[in-house]
Amino acid sequence: MHLEAYSKSDLLAWSRELEEHYRGFQASGLDLDLTRGKPSIAQLQLSAALDGILDGDYCLADGSDARGYGGLDGIPEARVLAAQWLGLTEAQVLVAGNSSLTLMYLFMLSAHVLGLQGAESPWCRQSGGARFLCPVPGYDRHFAICEELGIEMLPVPMNADGPDMDVVESLVTADPSIKGIWCVPKFSNPTGVVYSDQVVRRLAELPGRAGDGFFIFWDNAYRVHEFDTTPVPLLNIMDECRRRGSQGRVVIFGSTSKVTFAGAGLAFMGASVDTLNAFRRHLSVLTIGPDKVNQLRHLRFLPDMAAVRDLMVRHAAILRPKFQCVQQRLREGLGNHGMGTWTDPAGGYFVSFDALPGLAARIIERAAAAGVKLTPAGAAFPYGRDPEDRNIRLAPSYPSVDDVDRAMQVFVTCVQLCSVEKRLGELGADG
Ligand SMILES: Cc1ncc(COP(=O)(O)O)c(C=O)c1O
């Protein structure tokens, strides 16, 4: 029954019952954590063969030794894999160290401070400052990069098929100081949204409308992270950009962080040859080259995309029950009460929950007091500010299924409790 259909006395009785239930959780001394999307130990174990796989053989396909210096773009065999992973040619990709986020930071730093197209090109030189479009809710670490560099963030609503392109287009057309947009096109963090063909095509047209130096940051972090064996398609952004002459304005990222070892994988970056060359000039000052030994052991373990797919099927088998548990608890506890809405993604690492307005921080606080840590309220918004205080990111990948189940029982109880309290407040003394 919908929350609004309850009488005040029923709500009071329900709230007493929920309080008692909640105190029971508090007394049981839980210590659970749904804060960050990281692979569980069982998932990391799937790549245990990486350790020792080289067995003293450091010889690369081109005959050189992986232990030596050099090779800014990564080892050739890793670039072949990266090209398939990102949907580009080998000339358009480079393979770096363990973090694609580092590459994103470095690319943005290069564009903003150092310049990618000559002395006058840094965004920071332009009067009035640089702005960036941030679909919300989004990935907090993307927003942290903009904040660190002093790039003003403009939130854009996220629809079920990607960013609201009407809003995006009107902002970009009206304001040439907007220098780009963050995109997580597949199983977006945290909504799990996959961009539709229409959205990808409209994004590819943006550089034609935007001011100078505009870049689409295409962070395809969850490219191979389906829960099911059926691949979820996504249009190739580079192909779409090429058709519109905007191929130099997209920069594509990916990594094996949620495929092999989260902290010791490979990061991929792709762009047009010209854009990649401009970036390389800065990268080559920062480093002589990446950890090629790690690249080589990855390539021995995952020689091609078929091997990656096989591994991801095994990841999915571990992740699926956890996400199913989240959905079941939400459905059973909140299904028809009108206490919130949530996403049900087909892959990725998150579920995005929208509580009734004004309740996210309170729910998170109450869950913490019962031993369940959740991502801080507002984390998925620029500057940590959720204007409606309603979004909560749920990340069930790390704990066991039993712990996810316990954490979700607490979460659902906290949502019920806070929603009933809110409704009672609305009804007031004489409702
Ligand atoms: C959208 C997105 N991009 C990038 C990352 C981090 O990637 P990496 O480990 O390659 O730096 C994450 C991690 O949660 C993510 O959700």
Mean pLDDT for back-to-back runs of 10 residues, the chain (431 residues): 94 97 96 94 98 97 94 97 98 97 98 92 92 98 98 98 98 98 98 98 97 97 95 97 98 98 98 98 96 98 97 98 98 95 98 98 98 97 98 98 98 98 88 53
Q: What would the two tokens of residue 40 be? A: 């569980």
Ligand 1, residue 139: give the atom nearest the CA: 1
Specify the residue with its C-alpha closest to ligand 1, atom 6. 101
* Whole-angstrom distance, CA of residue 34 vs CA of residue 323: 12
Specify the residue with its C-alpha closest to ligand 1, atom 14. 37
Instruction: Give the DSSP letter of residue 226.
Output: B
SS3 382: helix
User: What separation in Å is there between the alpha carbon of 139 and the centre of ligand 1?
Assistant: 8
133 phi/psi in degrees, rounded to 5: -90, 130
| Side-by-side strand order, sheet with 93-95 | 93-95, 267-270, 250-255, 215-219, 178-183, 131-136, 152-159, 162-163
pLDDT at 229: 87
- Region of residue 294 (left: phi > 0; alpha: psi -120 to 50; beta: else): alpha
Ligand 1, residue 37: give the atom nearest the CA: 14
CB atoms within 10 A of CB 60: 18
Specify the residue with its C-alpha closest to ligand 1, atom 2. 221
* Whole-angstrom distance, CA of residue 42 vs CA of residue 379: 27
Ligand 1, residue 256: give the atom nearest the CA: 10
Residue 350 and residue 192 in contact, taking contact as beta carbons nearer than 8 Å:
yes
- Domain positions in the chain are 3-43+309-427, 60-303
Ligand 1 pocket test, candidate residues 219, 266, 397, most atoms within 8 A of CB = 219
* Whole-angstrom distance, CA of residue 307 vs CA of residue 46: 12
Residue 408 and residue 363 in contact, taking contact as beta carbons nearer than 8 Å:
no
* Whole-angstrom distance, CA of residue 420 vs CA of residue 415: 8
pLDDT at 158: 98
* Whole-angstrom distance, CA of residue 129 vs CA of residue 49: 49
Specify the residue with its C-alpha closest to ligand 1, atom 3. 221
Name 414's bridge partners: none
User: What separation in Å is there between the alpha carbon of 205 and the centre of ligand 1?
Assistant: 26
Dihedral sign (CA 160, 161, 167, 171): positive
Shortest CA distance to 394 belongs to which of 315, 311, 305, 334? 334
Ligand 1 pocket test, candidate residues 103, 104, 220, 255, most atoms within 8 A of CB = 255
Ligand 1 pocket test, candidate residues 36, 100, 107, 398, most atoms within 8 A of CB = 100
User: What separation in Å is there between the alpha carbon of 396 and the centre of ligand 1?
Assistant: 16
Class of domain 3-43+309-427 as given by CATH: alpha beta
User: What separation in Å is there between the alpha carbon of 253 and the centre of ligand 1?
Assistant: 9
User: What separation in Å is there between the alpha carbon of 230 and the centre of ligand 1?
Assistant: 23
* Whole-angstrom distance, CA of residue 390 vs CA of residue 378: 8
pLDDT at 428: 86
Specify the residue with its C-alpha closest to ligand 1, atom 12. 221
Shortest CA distance to 175 belongs to which of 137, 133, 138, 146? 133
Ligand 1, residue 257: give the atom nearest the CA: 9
Ligand 1, residue 254: give the atom nearest the CA: 10
DSSP per residue over 297-325, as a string?
Answer: HHHHH--SHHHHHHHHHHHHHHHHHHHHH
- Which residues touch 220 (CB under 8 Å, ≥6 apart)? 86, 184, 185, 186, 234, 252, 253, 254
Query: Residues enclosing ligand 1, CB less than 6 A?
Result: 37, 99-101, 139, 184, 189, 219, 221, 255, 257, 267
User: Cis omega before residue 190 (within 30°)?
Assistant: yes
Ligand 1, residue 36: give the atom nearest the CA: 14
User: What separation in Å is there between the alpha carbon of 101 and the centre of ligand 1?
Assistant: 6
User: What number does CATH give the domain 60-303?
Assistant: 3.40.640.10
* Whole-angstrom distance, CA of residue 389 vs CA of residue 184: 23
Topology agreement, domain 3-43+309-427 and domain 60-303: no
Ligand 1, residue 184: give the atom nearest the CA: 1
Ligand 1, residue 102: give the atom nearest the CA: 11
What does pTM read for this prediction?
0.97
